[in-house]
Structures are given as structure tokens and as C-alpha cells.
Structure 1
Amino acid sequence: MGSLGSPVLLSLFVASAAVIWIAGIKLSDTTDVLAERLHLGSALGGLILLAIATNLPEIAITASAAMAGQLDVAVGNILGGIAIQTIVLAVLDAAGVRPRAPLTRLAASLQLVLEGAMVVVVLAVVVMGTQLSPNLHAARLAPASVAIAVLWVIGLVLLNRAGRGLPWREGGDAPDSQPEPRGHSKGKKEKAAIDKGVSTARAGLVFGVSALATLVAGVVIERSGEEFFARQGLSGVLFGATVLAAATSLPEVSTGLTSTKLGDYQLAVSDIFGGNAFLPVLFLLATVISGKPVLPAAHDTDIYLTALGIILTVVYMAGLIFRPRRQYARMGIDSIAAVVIYLIGIAGLATIAT
């Protein structure tokens, strides 16, 4: 990439972002169709299959960086990605909610609060893992990365149980929230696929091609973007936490807008929280590939981004509980608070990175 001119690098970056956006839409649609037809269930289909599918760019970047022994941008992308993917909720709040009401008011449910708590717990273990000795590892595994993966699986089991109903009024859903049950958009997508004559094999083929395109685009966007923005004076940490994280969050934007368009607000929030809980699991992948613990080598900026992700998640957890009624600039007060906190947080990150 270093031998290419800046205009070529920028063109590759923009083209890769476009591929990630288009492939992300296809991945979302085919994932829901496959989840319905293969009877995977809402927990598996929403929190595992879709989490992996929409985070394929981060998977590609993490694997590529681990093989090259350069984990700085990958770590910053994972932790910065959690912060910026949470801000995707503000985008959905402003652009995707009909009728006009704050997203958290329409999506409020105890299950989503639990999903937010899962993100907070996983990120807390990330902070703990950064303080462990880098010599504490065996068989290409490190205790922190293994603990994160185990906690993620335990969280999925608990969320699957919560999805079958909670011993609360309305099963854990707030009154006058979205009228149709969570996940109803998947059934609508499945019906639309049947009407168009899309077979399961074809859906699987589209899923595979879209996944491959996203993986390739993820590597290209990281390599071209890092080189281009470095020439513009942007540090690797800031690039990974902002520009790269925003570009690799495009699948979450596309899937979220699709869900809110169909009135499935709970699924839109769940996809964001589910993806954020899954991202730290990639530290296990990086550890296995590189053969050494990743978290003990984390920089101050990585810990800072982790804390920012926790704060933003708690803001939306509070929104789901308090359910704001009024909107300002087409957003609920929780989304406005999240955007302000994020901007202040990135400004603070710049002072650390420089």
C-alpha cells in the first residue's frame, strides 16, 4: 500500500466502505432468512449469527493484524468500534424511528437492559485483562481472553432464557412500546424471500458471497485507510478508533435502519448490544493467531476507549429504563447525551494519542 498514491488509497478506502455497506445489507437479510428457515431461534440467530456477520470487517482486521504481529490498530478498532457502534443507536433514533418517539421508549424491555449489562461486564473484564502479566499464557491462550469468551457464552444462555419470558409484567416489555413482538421483522423478511422465490440454498450462497466480500473489504479498508490517513497526520490510534471504526460499523447502520423501518425497534437495539458484546471475543482470536496475550499490551488509549464504551452503554441502559418521552433534534435525551459524551471522549482521546 505504501507505493500507491494518495488518490488511489482514498479510492480503495471509499470503495471498500461501499462494499461493506452493500454486503452488510445482504448479510442482514440472508441471516434473518436462514435463521427463520433453519429454526436457529432468536438468541442464536440474533446474537451469534448476526453478531458474527455484521462484525466480519473487524474479524478480518483482527486476524490480518494478528498474523502481521501489528495489533495496535486492531485493538483500537475493536474497542473504538464498541463506542462508535453504540452511537449508531443515536443515528437510528434520529433517522429510523416512526412514529416520532425516542428509540428507547419504543424498544424498552428488561431483556435489552440485560444485554447492555452483558456488554458492561465483558468490557470490565477487558480492563482487568490489561493489568495481567504478559507472561501469563499457555497453549496460545490467555486467561482474560478465555474469560471474555466464556462470559459471552454464559450471557447468551441467560439471554436465551430471558427471551422465553421474564417473571415481570408484560414479560419484561414496557407498556405502549412497539406493538409487534421482537424479531417480527425476521418473519417479514422470510415471507418476502418466499414471495420472490428465494430458496434456502440461494440465501446461503448470497450470505457466503457477502461474507467473503466483507472480509476482503475489511482488510483493504484497514490497509488503505491506515496508510492514507497516516499521510494526513492522523495517528494510528485515532484512525482505528474513529475513521476505521466508523467505516466498519456500516453493517450495523444498515441492519439497524432495516429493523427500525419494519418497526422492530427492540431487534435494532439488540443487534447493537449483541455486536458490542461479541467484539471483545475477538481478543481470543488475536491471541490464538499471534501466540501471545493481547490485552496486557493494551495502551492507555485502549483502556480509555473501553471506559468510553461502558459509559455510552450505561446511558442507553438508563434510557431503556426511564423511557424518555420528548425529542430534541429528532432524538431522545439519552441519544443527545451519548453523542455529546462521545464527542468529548474523542477529544480527550486525541490529547492522549498525541
Structure 2
Amino acid sequence: MTLLLFLGGLAALLGGAEMLVRGASRLAAATGLSPLVIGLTVVAFGTSAPELAVGIGAARSGAADLAVGNVVGSNITNVLLILGMSAVIAPLVVARQLVRMDVPVMILCSVAVMGLTIDGRLSRIEGGALFLACLGYLALLLRTALRGGDDEPPDAPARVPRGLASRALDLALVAAGLALLVLGAGWLVDAATSVAAAMGVSELVIGLTVVAIGTSLPEIATALLAVLRGERDMAVGNVIGSNVLNLLLVLALTAVVSPQGLAVGAAVIRFDLPVMTAVALACLPIFYTGHCIRRWEGAVFLAYYAAYLAYLLLDAAGHDALPAFSAVMMRFVVPLTALTLVMLVLRSLHLGRARGRARGLDLEEDGQ
């Protein structure tokens, strides 16, 4: 039965991702909104639906660690695993709007959640405040899109006018794709959670790994298929939009429906939330340099995700290698990566100034 659930969930994910990307790309071309904005809103809402379903269900059943671990683990997975895999397949173009607005919003949300949960609980009032912030973010997104400030990349598809019947079909494709993604993710999570629970893994670790990857499978399927179909801006927008919605919508509503608010474990406050925030911060310099995610940067994301999983598994098993592994990561790998990112940003700023000076000289020569 577990094997059938797994295979059925995988088939539903693949079919749902194809329908969602096809319908969303056509909808973008017909409505005049860029694939980036569609990815940040429609697609992000749909692919965050499994996290919302799992979070609310876990909160009502008293499994707070599973609910929190699902959101935090999904945000880490979305950036390190999904963007990493997608960039390795093909370098990802990053729209300027992401650097100017959406990534800073993701960082601000991550820092805010860290601050709100430092006392070990996300209250219902705090959850409500996060949800209001979600509404404000969506309003800002739509206002920016309507004003034409979404900065479509040069490879964005041409906008094609479509009739009412065609738009209805596109919406039906999006809705059917979302339904299949949610259904498939649910089946896969049920199958994987049964196996993990049988192995005696803790609720928090299950939430951070098995459930987080399972509920991120819609994002994985959608992003990879979007990259293969040439909708690379939709893939990046989907990931960033999903991360913002995971915090402002999923975590917020999970806290609101919890009678006593959402309890946050000490291990999450001490380690996983800082990792989630650091991952969000790392996006800004990587996205800024060249406004793209290169293959080697995707490989670095994947390597860090493997290291994160290794830490969780070593910690859960109480393995003797954990102190040495942590020391190597914190003393060598992390500082070296931070130094590399700083050098890349400085180089990008230097090149930008050089181009600006060159343009200024060209204008002076033309004037003379």
C-alpha cells in the first residue's frame, strides 16, 4: 500500500506540474502579467497548499514540531535543493524585481519570524499580524505588476491575446494542476512519513526532512518543468513566492488555528530558524551578481543542502562525528563561502561602476 501511494503520488505530481506550468504560462501571456508575477502569486499559492494542509492538520492534532519543521524545512529545501537543482540544469535568469523587492521581503519575513518565536511560541495575535502582512505583500505585488514594474527578462515569451474560452481553459488547467499537485504531495508525504515513523525518527526531524521535502515536491516538479520549458523566471518566482507565503500565510494561519498559539521548540530556535534566515540572506548577493544563478552556484546550494541533511541525521542519531562535522562547517566552509559571496558582490559593483563611467564618456564624446 505504501509503494502504491508513493507511485501514485509521483504520477500525480508530474501530471499536475505539466498542467500548472502550461496553464500558468498561457495565462501570463493572455493577461499581460509576466511569468514572474504569475510564479510569485498563482503558482506560489498552489505549490504552498500542501504546506498549509499539513501545517493546519498537524497543529490541530497537537503536533507543533511537525507543523513548524514543515515550514522551516520547506523554506530551506526550496532554496538549496530546488534552486540548486534547477540552476545545475540551466542557469536561472533573475528579474530585477526579485533583487529589489521580493528577496528583501523574504529576508525581512525570516528575521521577523525569528524575533517573534524567540520566546518559544508564535501566538495567535502574532500569526494574525503575519497574515495581514501577507495581504499587504500581495497588494504590493499586484500594484507593481499593473504599473509595469515587474522587469520581465529578455527571454520572456511574447504576450498573445486569447479569447474568453481559451482563458477559461487556461484557468481550468491551472486549477486541475494545483489539485493534482496537492493530492500527489499528500500521498507521497503519507508514504514517506509511515516509513520514517517506523524507523523511530523524531517528529521534528520528520518535519524538517521527509515532510518538508514531500510538501516541497510541487515546487520541485513545477520548477524543474518550468526550466525545461524555458520558463526560468517562473521557476525562481515560484520558489521565492512560496517561501514568503510559507511564513506569512502557512505559518500565520497555523498559529491562528492553534488554541494556544504555535509552540516552537528550542532546537528550531537555536539552529533551524537561523539556517533558514542565512539561506534567505545568501540569495541576495547570488541573485544580485549578474542577475542570474549560475551552475556552480546551484552546485553550492546542493552541497549545502546535503550538509544540512547530514547534520540533522548525525544529530538525530547522536553520532560521534557530529562535533567534528560542525567544526569543519563553521570554521572553514561557511566563512569561505561568505568570503566568496562578498568578493562576487564587490566585483559586480566594480563592473557596474566601470560600465557607468564608460557610458558617461561615450555621452561626452557624442556631445562634443
- 1:1-354 pair list within 5 angstroms: 8-34=1-27, 37=30, 45-87=38-80, 88-95=82-89, 97=90, 102-103=91-92, 106-107=93-94, 109-132=96-119, 134=121, 142-163=124-145, 164=147, 178-181=153-156, 184=157, 187=159, 199-280=166-247, 281-294=249-262, 296-301=263-268, 304-323=271-290, 331-332=295-296, 334-354=297-317
CA distance in 2: counterparts of 1:200 and 1:324, whole angstroms: 32
Query: How far did 1:67 drift?
Result: 3.1
CA contact (8 A) 1:130 1:298 kept: no
Give the aligned partner of residue 4 of structure 1: none
- Residue ranges of structure 1 left out of the alignment (5+ in a row): 1-7
CA distance in 2: counterparts of 1:235 and 1:118, whole angstroms: 32
Query: How far did 1:113 drift?
Result: 4.6
Amino acid in the other structure paired with 2:274:
A
Residue by residue over 1:163-200, the C-alpha shift from the partner in whole angstroms, topping out at 9 and shown as x without a partner, is 5466xxxx978xxxx5234xx37x47x87xx8xx9744
Amino acid in the other structure paired with 1:85:
N
User: Structure 1 260/207 Cα, relative in aligned 2: closer, same or farther at 3 Å?
Assistant: closer
CA distance in 2: counterparts of 1:37 and 1:112, whole angstroms: 26
CA distance in 1: counterparts of 2:292 and 2:241, whole angstroms: 25
Amino acid in the other structure paired with 1:151:
A
User: What SS does the aligned partner of 2:201 have?
Assistant: coil
- Residue ranges of structure 2 left out of the alignment (5+ in a row): 318-368
Query: How far did 1:220 drift?
Result: 3.4
User: Structure 1 326/254 Cα, relative in aligned 2: closer, same or farther at 3 Å?
Assistant: closer
User: What SS does the aligned partner of 1:221 have?
Assistant: helix
Query: Among the aligned pairs, what percent are the same residue?
Result: 21
Query: How far did 1:110 drift?
Result: 4.7
User: What SS does the aligned partner of 1:55 have?
Assistant: helix
CA distance in 2: counterparts of 1:155 and 1:122, whole angstroms: 11
CA distance in 1: counterparts of 2:166 and 2:141, whole angstroms: 30
Q: With structure 1 as the length reference, what TM-score do the two structures score?
A: 0.74
User: What SS does the aligned partner of 1:111 have?
Assistant: helix
Q: Across the two proteins, how many residue pairs are aligned to each other? A: 314
CA contact (8 A) 2:48 2:242 kept: yes
Root-mean-square deviation (CA), in Å?
Answer: 3.4
Query: How far did 1:84 drift?
Result: 0.7
CA distance in 2: counterparts of 1:127 and 1:73, whole angstroms: 17
Query: How far did 1:282 drift?
Result: 0.8
Q: With structure 2 as the length reference, what TM-score do the two structures score?
A: 0.72
User: Structure 1 224/322 Cα, relative in aligned 2: closer, same or farther at 3 Å?
Assistant: same
CA distance in 2: counterparts of 1:324 and 1:43, whole angstroms: 14
CA distance in 1: counterparts of 2:183 and 2:292, whole angstroms: 43
User: Structure 1 198/326 Cα, relative in aligned 2: closer, same or farther at 3 Å?
Assistant: closer
Residue by residue over 1:319-345, the C-alpha shift from the partner in whole angstroms, topping out at 9 and shown as x without a partner, is 122239996xxx23x323322332222
Amino acid in the other structure paired with 1:155:
Y
CA contact (8 A) 1:77 1:240 kept: yes
